[in-house]
């Protein structure tokens, strides 16, 4: 079991030599394997998701993009063991940390969720209790999931609020949801989601409701957590620009099908499917422009370097 101080390190924390993964764990083994997963609405007798697959290694991220209703959230919920009533995984398999999830009991799910796999969604306020200080709610997660005593749980909560780059953690700790902006609330939710040191974080439209600047800040925060703690990310958005900024691999979904999948730069520069081309054309927005510009700059730099070497020779 990893400890919070090794998983979520604040800038002011002492360097810690403990490894974030146990000695028996292969650090490059996938933390999440989704293989040809099919999801059906049993009440309607209809298959809704027709085969989704990807593998996620520690410190990497995969993006799922596609129009509303394409099956992105159902795919996430299947991996979290929280499909809506009547919905079932009717094909394929999901492994979390090498463990097939199909036979898990609800007690096993309870111990897995939060501690190994965690999630943040759109509308953070609806996941927090409006009449309890936000800090107290994270403290509660730590007490339940990690069995911490009150004082230690509070200390670690402050550390977490600091890790998600909230400027005054002590102040925020004692605030109510109505006192915080949407961006601050999403940071609080991320702090709660990573409190028990999960290896996988699913962010499903987590920045959708935020304005572009705050959205970019939250994406930077996720990238930072991934780099510092080896957190593996599943980033879901209807906006290609969002996944382009952060993901190594991208899946494009439409009507329950993966129409295209591959390394992000490849999909963006050489989209094979008409629908992907449409998404790219639609999203000539901040994030995607930035991504494409950065790619172009990198390519130019590489070309210059090659020229320099050739001139030297
Ligand atoms: N709780 C639910 N009850 C009935 N239908 C649902 C439910 N959740 C999702 N669906 C249906 O499943 C399909 C995929 O939904 P979802 O995975 O939420 O799409 P996305 O996240 O890509 O917008 C949609 O057609 C939606 O109507
Ligand atoms: Mg959704």
Q: How far is the CA of 75 from the centre of ligand 1 (A)?
A: 10
3-state secondary structure of 204: strand
Neighbour order of strands in the sheet with 87-96? 46-56, 32-41, 87-96, 99-100
Q: How far is the CA of 72 from the centre of ligand 1 (A)?
A: 8
Show the CA angle centred on residue 149, arms to residues 146 and 153, nearest 5°: 70
CATH value at residue 282: 3.40.50.300
3-state secondary structure of 103: coil
Phi and psi angles of residue 40, each rounded to the nearest 5 degrees, phi first: -125, 150
The CA distance from 60 to 248, in Å, is 7
Quickly count: other Cβ atoms within 10 Å of residue 176's Cβ.
Answer: 13
What is the pLDDT, as a whole number, of residue 20?
43
pLDDT by residue (tens digit) across 238-270? 888 889 889 999 999 999 999 999 999 999 999
Show the CA angle centred on residue 32, arms to residues 52 and 64, nearest 5°: 45
What is the pLDDT, as a whole number, of residue 265?
92
Number of domains in the chain: 1
Alpha-carbon Rg for the chain in angstroms: 20
Q: Whose CA is nearest to atom 21 of ligand 1?
A: 73
Structure tokens at 150: 């009150």
Structure tokens at 46: 């209809």
Per-residue pLDDT band for 280 (boundaries 50, 70, 90) equals confident
Q: State the residue range of the domain holding 269.
A: 4-312
User: Are 92 and 34 a contacting pair, CB within 8 Å?
Assistant: yes
pLDDT by residue (tens digit) across 1-52? 333 333 333 333 333 333 344 445 677 899 999 999 999 999 999 999 999 9
Of 142, 135, 231, the C-alpha closest to 185 is 135
Show the CA angle centred on residue 212, arms to residues 208 and 217, nearest 5°: 90
Atom of ligand 1 nearest to the CA of 85: 1
Atom of ligand 1 nearest to the CA of 84: 1
**How many residues would you count in the chain?**
313
């Amino acid at each position: 079991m990893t400890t919070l101080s090794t998983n979520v390190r604040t800038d002011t924390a002492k360097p810690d030599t403990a490894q974030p993964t146990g000695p028996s764990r292969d650090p490059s083994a996938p933390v999440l394997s989704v293989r040809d997963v099919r999801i059906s609405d049993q009440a309607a007798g209809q298959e809704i998701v027709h085969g989704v697959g990807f593998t996620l290694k520690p410190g990497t991220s995969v993006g799922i993009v596609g129009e509303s209703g394409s099956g992105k959230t159902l795919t996430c919920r299947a991996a979290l063991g929280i499909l809506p009533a009547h919905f079932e995984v009717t094909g394929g398999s999901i492994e979390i940390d090498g463990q097939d999830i199909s036979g898990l009991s609800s007690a096993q799910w309870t111990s897995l969720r939060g501690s190994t796999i965690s999630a943040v969604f759109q509308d953070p306020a609806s996941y927090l209790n409006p009449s309890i200080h936000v800090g107290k709610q994270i403290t509660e997660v730590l007490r339940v999931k990690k069995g911490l005593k009150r004082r230690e749980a509070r200390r670690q909560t402050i550390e977490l609020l600091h890790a998600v780059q909230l400027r005054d953690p002590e102040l925020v700790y004692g605030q109510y949801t109505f006192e915080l902006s949407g961006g601050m609330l999403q940071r609080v939710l991320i702090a709660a989601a990573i409190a028990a040191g999960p290896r996988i974080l699913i962010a499903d439209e987590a920045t959708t409701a935020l304005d572009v600047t705050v959205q970019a800040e939250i994406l930077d925060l996720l990238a930072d957590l991934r780099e510092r703690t080896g957190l593996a990310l599943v980033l879901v958005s209807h906006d290609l620009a969002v996944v382009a900024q952060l993901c190594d691999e991208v899946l494009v979904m439409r009507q329950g099908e993966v129409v295209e999948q591959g390394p992000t730069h490849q999909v963006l520069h050489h989209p094979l499917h008409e629908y992907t081309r449409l998404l790219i054309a639609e999203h000539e927005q901040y994030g995607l422009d930035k991504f494409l510009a950065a790619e172009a700059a990198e390519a130019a730099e590489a070309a210059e370097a090659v020229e320099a070497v050739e001139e030297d020779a």
